[in-house]
Structure 1
Amino acid sequence: MSPEIGHLVEQAGPYVSAAVSVYGAAVLSRAEDAALDAAVEGTAGVGRRILELVWRQRDERSRAALESAVDEAAEDPDDSDAAAALRQQIKRALREDAELTREVAGLLPATGTVTVNVSGTRAIGAQHIGVASSGDHATVHPPQQ
């Protein structure tokens, strides 16, 4: 397996997990629900599109294996073994199809992209930070050398 495919599968994991959590086993159904897609266009929407691409590129036997992996992951979203089995199905598909690999890569944010969602009173979001304080009457002392 090329490092690129391993990285893509790792990067796609949270998107695929979100899609399975939102859509359940129906994530592979051919009928698209436009209203639901609009509501979950973010992470779950990307995950659904990844699974749809993989589904379209598979033969009947491979589709059955992908469907089984999605069903198991949907039954218990916290089961790391089921999530790993689903990632393995995606990895197989990417290894077999260079065009699919390019399409999936195109759906994912560029490497190095950081997204931070912050909410709530005194919430702090940062990628690189030295000192952050959001409490009342905080005292920050420089490190001693």
Structure 2
Amino acid sequence: MGAEIMQLVGQAGPAVTAAVGAYGAAVLTRAQDAAADSTVSLGQRILQLVWRHRDEAGQAELERVVGEAADEQDDAYSTAVLSRLLRHALQDDPVLRKELAAVLPATSTVTVTASGERSIAAQHIGTAITGDGHTSPQS
């Protein structure tokens, strides 16, 4: 299985699982809810994209799998089932891969290196004060 597919599934999986958890099998046909949080909304768009790329038999299978995942009480199982569904849908459909990549947020790689005694590393930080005997200014 291609690295591209695994990356797409890794990015899309949590949103798809959240959407199925929120809407159940209705996620496939439900109109987009403006009040839905961004993760659920993204998952809904992804599943509807996969839905549109299926023939009638494929749509029935997708509906069955999503319904099973929605009924399941084990999130890990649902995530695995939905990830498998996405992998299979993406394997034979380069157009779907391209459309899914366009829907997903861009990924970025951040490298933070800390070197030396008492050094710190952080991607986002307000104020970091290190060292012995330091006192913060009082406001």
- Scaled by the length of structure 2, what TM-score is found? 0.74
| 2:71 aligned partner, one-letter code | E
Q: Does 2:87 match 1:91?
A: yes
Larger radius of gyration: 2
After TM superposition, give the deviation of residue 8 of structure 1 in Å: 0.3
Number of aligned residues: 121
2:18 — aligned with what? Answer: 18
Query: Is the contact between residue 14 and residue 79 of structure 2 (CA under 8 Å) also seen in structure 1?
Result: no
Q: Distance in 2 between matches of 1:61 and 1:88?
A: 18
**Equivalent residues in 2 for 1:31-70, closer than 5 Å:** 31-32=30-31, 37-40=33-36, 42-70=38-66
| 1:3 aligned partner, one-letter code | A
Flag the 1:80–1:142 CA change in 2: closer, same or farther, 3 A. same
- After TM superposition, where is structure 1 displaced by more than 3 Å over at least 4 residues in a row? 126-129, 140-143
Q: Does 2:76 match 1:80?
A: yes
Flag the 1:8–1:77 CA change in 2: closer, same or farther, 3 A. farther
Query: Is the contact between residue 17 and residue 78 of structure 2 (CA under 8 Å) also seen in structure 1?
Result: no
For 1:58, what is the secondary structure of its paired residue?
coil
Q: Distance in 2 between matches of 1:58 and 1:38?
A: 26
Q: Distance in 1 between matches of 2:109 and 2:18?
A: 19
- Scaled by the length of structure 1, what TM-score is found? 0.71
For 1:39, what is the secondary structure of its paired residue?
coil
| 1:7 aligned partner, one-letter code | Q
Q: Does 2:4 match 1:4?
A: yes
Flag the 1:113–1:41 CA change in 2: closer, same or farther, 3 A. farther
1:117 — aligned with what? Answer: none
After TM superposition, give the deviation of residue 69 of structure 1 in Å: 1.7
Question: 5+ residue gaps in structure 2?
Answer: 111-121, 133-139
| 2:11 aligned partner, one-letter code | Q
After TM superposition, give the deviation of residue 87 of structure 1 in Å: 1.2
After superposition, give the CA deviation of every residue in 1:31-86 in whole Å (9 maximum; x if it has no partner). Answer: 51x5xx10015111111010001011112332222212211221135331232111
**Equivalent residues in 2 for 1:92-111, closer than 5 Å:** 92-111=88-107
| 1:127 aligned partner, one-letter code | Q
After TM superposition, give the deviation of residue 12 of structure 1 in Å: 0.3
